């Protein structure tokens, strides 16, 4: 959560090419946090980082290969994914079938999980191909997993204002508006319905004020500047061994 000081800090800038970074003392995970106690808030910020790192560690090992195959823009036979990762077809299909949010075509081929060929609110343009992601967080972390630059187009879930973010494998390099935030429910990637419990709550906000509206309704969730969220998750992906530690 952000304290009211974040709103004042972020009003000082409104650039489409520079990121506004509220101070670490402005982050909190609880509505009852003693914001006047810097050490307590810093501890909660560390807890938040640890939760996001744990989320990255919970990503199944076959996901990077799944993303690569889905990103080609054609339905993916599960056998092709199993061959790519050297994991039994049954194990992969069982996991994906247990997730009701997985996208399939009429022939039982995979259209996507996280990254999908079926339209959502988050357009993910990769090397000229238009794909989509389940949530804003996916749109931010998938370039790192794919090793490719993506242009993300979405809308503020509060105001409807258009949001554009350019993400390279190692950095968020552009955001318009410059105050763009992302919402996330941490600690839920072990859910039996990730799309419903996590992805449906992961959206972009064009300002801190807009993000706070969501935060008030979801005290167990967090809102972060897109660059801050990306950097924390990137560290988690490296720790999980899903991308090279460079």
> Residue 67's pLDDT is what?
97
Tell me the per-residue pLDDT of 64-113, one tens digit each, with 9 for 90 and over. 999 999 999 999 999 999 999 999 999 999 999 999 999 999 999 999 99
H-only helix segments in 19-111: 38-57, 63-70, 78-85, 89-97
If we measure between CA atoms, which residue out of 184, 189, 93 comes closest to residue 139? Answer: 184
pTM for this predicted structure = 0.83
Portion of the chain with pLDDT greater than 70, in percent: 80
Q: Any residues with CB less than 8 A from the CB of 102 and at least 6 apart, and which? A: 96, 110, 112, 113, 195
Q: Which two tokens stand for residue 129?
A: 């191909």
3-state secondary structure of 90: helix
Active site residues: 135, 138, 199
Task: Return d(Cα 34, Cα 30) in angstroms, integer.
Answer: 9
If we measure between CA atoms, which residue out of 101, 106, 131, 110 comes closest to residue 119? Answer: 131
Q: Which residue is associated with the tokens 């910020």?
A: 45
């Amino acid at each position: 959560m952000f304290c009211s000081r974040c709103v004042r800090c972020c009003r000082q800038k409104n650039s489409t090419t520079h990121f506004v970074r509220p101070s670490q003392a402005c982050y909190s995970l609880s509505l009852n946090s003693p914001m006047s106690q810097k050490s307590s808030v810093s501890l909660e910020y560390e807890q938040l980082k640890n939760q996001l790192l744990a989320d990255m560690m919970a990503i199944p090992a076959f996901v990077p290969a799944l993303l690569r195959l889905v990103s080609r823009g054609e339905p993916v036979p599960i056998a092709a994914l199993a061959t790519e990762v050297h994991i039994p077809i049954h194990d992969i299909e069982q996991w994906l079938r247990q997730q009701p949010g997985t996208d399939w075509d009429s022939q039982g081929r995979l259209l996507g999980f996280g990254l999908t060929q079926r339209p959502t609110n988050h357009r993910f343009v990769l090397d000229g191909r238009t794909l989509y992601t389940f949530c804003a967080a996916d749109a931010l972390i998938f370039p790192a997993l794919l090793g490719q630059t993506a242009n993300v187009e979405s809308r503020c879930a509060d105001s409807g204002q258009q949001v554009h973010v350019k993400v390279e494998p190692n950095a968020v390099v552009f955001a318009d508006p410059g105050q763009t935030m992302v919402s996330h429910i941490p600690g839920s990637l072990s859910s039996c319905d990730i799309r419903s419990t996590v992805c449906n709550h992961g959206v972009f906000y064009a300002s801190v004020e807009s993000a706070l509206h969501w935060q008030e309704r979801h005290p167990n969730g967090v809102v972060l500047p897109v660059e801050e969220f990306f950097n924390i998750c990137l560290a988690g992906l490296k720790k999980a061994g899903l991308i090279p530690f460079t």
